[in-house]
């Protein structure tokens, strides 16, 4: 079957991670999960050929979209009135999501995300957490499993800790590859993220927290005594009640927060 059939002449661009949703049943489920309400302040990343844009625009007074592909932008401009749809022709990784908040309602972010930029995009969005109400994304199932993973599991890593420290992260349902055109090689999942109340994570010094988490997971098979040697000595491990002989995957988000507080109080690592 022609992988680009039914796409109105558009040829899917692999470099932009273009796998377009074509299953009405799945689109309905995603919209039901998002529960858009008329006055919501919402932005869709990567509207593409409009599979989600159309049902969202029908339910909202107004929708923002961020799209990188000029051909798709031209189609969106033809199809939607500027009062209904504001189109930002820009790379979502560089987009200032804070600019959409201003004094207005907190921002809802949705998207069937291009898989090649999904992890950096999640980190980029986390920078705007104070402006966000919630996020609903389609991502590779493998990435979503890492986002929701619990300590002690193979999927648990830097992504799990960095996101769970700031968001409640929930895997909603899986989407088979047949729901897209062209079909990707992998299964996808829908994930919902909602910012934790300010201060709930207890992370404290966020830059230091990020450095400690990155160092701890830099070599998964090494024990903390080695990976965290620039941050904690034996006395630090003892004071915190953490065994220096375990690996990063055995530490909870709260453990990483406690290490961060300890380091922040006792010395400022270079
Ligand atoms: N939302 C549509 C759907 O569900 O059928 C398209 C989803 S497709 C997986 C990803 C979309 O993101 C494409 O429209 C692609 O052009 C766009 N895109 C890719 N990289 C982007 C980037 N860096 N910034 C903004 N949009 C991007």
Assign 114 a pLDDT band (cuts: 50, 70, 90).
very high
> Residue 95 C-alpha to ligand 1 middle, in angstroms?
14
Of ligand 1's atoms, which has the minimum distance to the CA of residue 95? 24
Residue 125 has pLDDT above 70, yes or no: yes
Q: For the CA atoms of 76, 179, 30, 109, what is the dihedral angle to 10 degrees?
A: -50
Measured distance CA(198)–CA(227) in Å, rounded? 29
Ligand 1 within 6 A of CB of 47: yes
Q: Where are the domains of the chain?
A: 14-195, 206-266
Residue nearest to atom 20 of ligand 1 (CA): 16
Of ligand 1's atoms, which has the minimum distance to the CA of residue 44? 1
Q: What is the pLDDT of residue 203?
A: 84
Nearest alpha carbon to residue 78 among 49, 113, 46: 49
Work out the mean pLDDT of the chain and round it to a whole number.
94
Ligand 1 within 6 A of CB of 93: yes
Residue nearest to atom 18 of ligand 1 (CA): 46
Ligand 1 within 6 A of CB of 183: no
Tokens matching residue 88: 């930002």
Tell me, yes or no, if the pTM score tops 0.75: yes
Measured distance CA(258)–CA(260) in Å, rounded? 5
> Residue 47 C-alpha to ligand 1 middle, in angstroms?
6
What pairing do the DSSP bridges indicate for beta strands 188-195 and 132-140?
A: antiparallel
Higher pLDDT, 55 or 202: 55
Tokens matching residue 1: 């079957």
Q: What is the pLDDT of residue 194?
A: 97
Instruction: Look up the CATH superfamily of 14-195.
Output: Vaccinia Virus protein VP39 (3.40.50.150)
> Residue 241 C-alpha to ligand 1 middle, in angstroms?
46
Residue nearest to atom 17 of ligand 1 (CA): 46
Q: What is the pLDDT of residue 15?
A: 87
Instruction: Look up the CATH superfamily of 206-266.
Output: rRNA adenine dimethylase, C-terminal domain (1.10.8.100)
Residue 4 has pLDDT above 70, yes or no: no
Instruction: State whether residue 75 is helix, strand or coil.
Output: helix
Q: pLDDT tens, 214-227?
A: 999 999 899 999 99
Ligand 1 within 6 A of CB of 121: no
> Best mutation site among 26, 56, 113, 114 for ligand 1, i.e. most ligand atoms within 8 A of its Cβ?
114
Ligand 1 within 6 A of CB of 48: yes
Mean pLDDT of 163-184: 96
Of ligand 1's atoms, which has the minimum distance to the CA of residue 69? 16
Three-state SS sequence of 186-228: CCEEEEEEEECCCCCCCCCCHHHHHHHHHHHCCCCCCEHHHHC
Q: What is the DSSP string of 228-261?
A: TTTT--HHHHHHHT--TTSBGGG--HHHHHHHHH
């Amino acid at each position: 079957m022609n992988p680009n059939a039914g796409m109105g002449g558009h040829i899917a661009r692999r470099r932009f991670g273009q796998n377009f949703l074509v299953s009405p049943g799945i689109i309905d489920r995603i919209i039901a999960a998002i529960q858009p309400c008329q006055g919501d302040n919402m932005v869709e990343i990567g509207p593409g050929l409009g599979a989600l844009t159309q049902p969202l625009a029908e339910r909202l007074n107004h929708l923002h979209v961020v799209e990188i592909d000029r051909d798709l932008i031209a189609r969106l401009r033809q199809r939607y009135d500027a009062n209904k749809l504001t189109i930002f022709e820009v790379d979502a990784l560089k987009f200032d999501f804070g600019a959409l908040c201003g004094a207005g309602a907190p921002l809802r972010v949705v998207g069937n995300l291009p898989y090649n930029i999904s992890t950096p995009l999640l980190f980029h969005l986390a920078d705007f957490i104070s402006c966000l109400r919630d996020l609903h994304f389609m991502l590779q199932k493998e990435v979503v499993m890492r986002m929701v993973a619990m300590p002690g599991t193979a999927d648990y890593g830097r992504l799990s800790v960095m996101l769970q420290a700031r968001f409640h992260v929930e895997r909603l349902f899986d989407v088979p590859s047949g729901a897209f055109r062209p079909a990707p090689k992998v299964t996808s999942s829908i994930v919902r993220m909602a910012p934790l109340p300010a201060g709930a994570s207890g992370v404290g010094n966020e830059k230091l927290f990020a450095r400690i988490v990155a160092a701890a997971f830099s070599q998964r098979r090494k024990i903390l005594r080695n990976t965290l040697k620039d941050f904690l000595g034996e006395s630090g491990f003892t004071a915190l009640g953490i065994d220096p002989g375990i690996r990063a995957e055995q530490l909870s988000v709260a453990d990483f927060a406690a290490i961060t507080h300890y380091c922040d109080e006792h010395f400022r690592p270079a």
